[in-house]
Chains A and B, each alone.
Chain A
Amino acid sequence: MNQINSIQDEIIDEFAFFGDWMEKYEYIIDLGKSLPLIEEQYKNEEHLIKGCQSQVWLHADESEGKVDFTADSDAVITKGIIALLVRVLSGQKADEIAQADLYFIDKIGLKEHLSPTRSNGLVSMVKQMKMYGLAINAKSQ
């Protein structure tokens, strides 16, 4: 199993301890509050993914075929979910990022936040992360 999936499984296990949505949301909100996810210099128009509801900034760095992601959002729940996505995808191999099946979001009961109708920038962010993976992988071939 690749690392992406083992981290996803870890998160699923962690979330299994939560009794109800309140506890889950409190955890996500804590994640969103605690992490400085992106350097100020990258919080600009160039790195911005505009959603109707919330905004997301995403920056990618490449080293030796791996991609490091940093990201942020103006909404704290969105930011908490970003923290999970970054935990799963950052530092992984470009080709694995491009092909990742992010099943954990559904399994931990947060799929509504990754629905296109929410328009919170997260769907575009995941697409963008995979695009980086694809592009960096193509370049290294």
Chain B
Amino acid sequence: MEVTAQQAFDIEKIRKDFPLLEQEMNGKPIIFLDSAASSQKPAQVIDRLNDYYRTGHANVHRGVYQLSQEATTAFEEARELVRQFINAPSEKEVIFVRGCTEGINLVASSYGRKFINQGDAVLITAMEHHSNIVPWQMICEERGAELRVAPVNDAGEIDLDALYALLDERVKIVSLVHVSNALGTVNPVKAIIDRAHELNVPVLVDGAQAIPHTQVDVQALDADFYTFSGHKMFGPTGIGVLYGKEKWLEQMPPYHGGGEMIKTVTFEKTTYNELPHKFEAGTPDISGVIGLGEAVKYMQSVGYDNISRHEHELLSYATEQLKQIEGLRIIGTAREKASVVSFIVEGVHPYDLGAILDKLGIAVRTGHHCTQPLMARYEIPGTVRASFAFYNNKADIDALVAGINRAVLMLK
């Protein structure tokens, strides 16, 4: 009998893959609802890292000896896994970085120095994470360019008409978030990319919150740059990916100088290595890359269809349950949302709520979520954010709701 994907998704079996979910916090079984900050790791990834350090470690792209060649093979196999995962045309376009933040900084700095000049503009949106604001502010200041910000409506959706009005021939790049970390909004990046391409403006997509939940096909999106972090997609911390179209990457100067990124060095003149190595100066995070490859395999074994179906169930259940709490207001009510619920409770400070939930073993994020301009837009100091991964279940949400009720009783 054929096993359908739906049958294959066994939440209890999946939960057992994540050793941390069996831990306690403050003496209570942990209810982990902060995967948008960083996800937990399956045993498969942890074991792969362990195995690599115990039996397979050597520097890559350098040694003639067997161990180094095996490490290099494992490293480059992981690149190929990532390439297939996001459907990039070539492994030359898959650059390993420390994370999404470095991916954006790399493009802002390298693309910016080459293509952004006095009087030009960079277009972002009001729902960006600080990591997709500050690098652009820095390069705009340096190059004498203007930073334009497309507004967000009350529901937490980008005002597309306003964005298109800001998009003109002075704009040299658009950089926007695929899924908002603070609101959960899924942005119509494909439509925005198409519109920008009509003016030959490239688009960078910050995919940090999208990749754990949604299948990303960089060719279907036609994104010029797409960046994400490994640690939010069940891989190790300190590793991430920047996908870039070859036509841009070839024209961009290197970001960091050092070993690995060079072809020849003399004191007079250095020539640079081919892509992707041109952007990978120094010994890379080899174990991180190998662990990331394992995380890709793990996600593929779970399957995006299962992930999305399960997470959407959790999102609607959570939204429904949370709405029943008196005085609770959900911040971010976009039509298209990923499994993130941000909320405030009238008369209760997010910090106080978070501090009590912590004592109950419930891990949520509180504060401004590194999106201060967005919080200012809603005139709130911050929110409490519960974010779900496919390893969460309805019992986690029930615990959250009970925890909030208890905290509110104490605080009000």
- Chain A interface (Cβ < 8 Å from any Cβ of B): 21-22, 25-26, 29, 52-55, 74-78, 112-113, 119-120
| B 358-371 binary contact with A (CB < 8 Å = 1; else 0) | 11000000111000
A22 cross-chain contacts in B, Cβ below 8 A = 359, 410
* A53 to B410 Cα, complex, angstroms: 19
- Given contacts A21-B359, A29-B410, are A77 and B352 in contact (CB under 8 A)? yes
B367 contacts A76, C-beta separation under 8 Å: no
Q: Are A77 and B355 in contact (CB under 8 A)?
A: yes
The answer on a CB contact under 8 Å between B410 and A75 is: no
Partner of B359, one of A25, A53, A75, A119: A25
Interface centre among A21, A26, A75, A120 (most CB of B within 10 A): A75
Residue in B350, B367, B411 whose beta carbon sits within 8 Å of that of A29 in the complex? B411
Task: Answer whether residue B89 sits at the interface, using C-beta atoms and an 8 A cutoff.
Answer: no
Q: Residue B42 at the A interface, CB < 8 A?
A: no
In the complex formed, the residue of A with least CB distance to B27 is A21
Question: Do A75 and B352 touch across chains, with their CB atoms under 8 A apart?
Answer: yes
Question: In the complex, A134 Cα to B215 Cα: how many Å?
Answer: 58
Q: Check if B48 is an interface residue, CB within 8 A of chain A.
A: no
Is A76 a contact of B411 with CB atoms below 8 Å?
yes
Decide if A76 touches B356 in the complex (CB within 8 Å): no
Count of chain B residues with a beta carbon within 8 Å of a chain A beta carbon: 17
In contact, A120 and B410 (Cβ under 8 angstroms): no
Interface contacts beyond A52-B367, A75-B349, A77-B352: sample of 12 additional A-B pairs, CB < 8 Å, sorted by A: A21-B26, A25-B355, A25-B356, A25-B410, A53-B350, A53-B354, A53-B382, A54-B381, A55-B381, A75-B350, A76-B352, A119-B367
Q: B9 contacts the other chain (Cβ, under 8 Å)?
A: no
Q: How far is the CB of A115 from chain B (nearest CB, A)?
A: 12
Check if B351 is an interface residue, CB within 8 A of chain A: yes
User: B359 contacts A76, CB within 8 Å?
Assistant: no
Q: How far is the CB of B134 from chain A (nearest CB, A)?
A: 15
Contact of B410 among A26, A74, A112, A119 (CB under 8 A): A26
A135 → chain B closest CB, angstroms? 29
B180 → chain A, closest Cβ, in Å? 19
* CB nearest to A32 among chain B residues: B352
B411 lies within 8 A of A53 (CB)? no
Known: A26-B410, A74-B349, A120-B351. A53 touches B356 (CB 8 A): no
Considering the complex, give the chain A residue whose CB is closest to the CB of B366: A53
Return the 5 tightest CB-CB contacts between A and B, nearest first.
Answer: A75-B349, A75-B351, A54-B351, A53-B351, A77-B352
Q: List 25 A-B contacts (CB under 8 A).
A: A21-B26, A22-B359, A25-B355, A25-B410, A26-B410, A29-B352, A29-B410, A52-B367, A53-B351, A53-B354, A53-B366, A53-B367, A54-B349, A54-B351, A54-B381, A74-B349, A74-B381, A75-B349, A75-B350, A75-B351, A75-B352, A76-B349, A76-B352, A76-B411, A120-B351
> In the docked arrangement, what's the CA distance between A77 and B382, Å?
16
Nearest residue, chain A, Cβ from B356: A25
Binary contact readout B312-352 vs A (1 if CB under 8 angstroms, 0 otherwise): 00000000000000000000000000000000000001111
> How far is A26 from B355 in the complex, measured between Cα atoms in Å?
12
Residue of B349, B358, B359, B411 contacting most chain A CB atoms (<10 Å): B349
Q: What is the bound-complex CA distance between A62 and B350, given in angstroms?
A: 34
Q: How far is the CB of B172 from chain A (nearest CB, A)?
A: 32
Report chain A residues within 8 Å CB of B349. 54, 74-76
Looking across the interface, which residue of chain B has its beta carbon closest to that of A26? B410
A77 shortest CB reach to chain B, Å: 5
> Separation in Å of the A18 CB from the closest CB of chain B?
13
For A52, give its contact among B368, B410, B411 (CB under 8 Å): B368
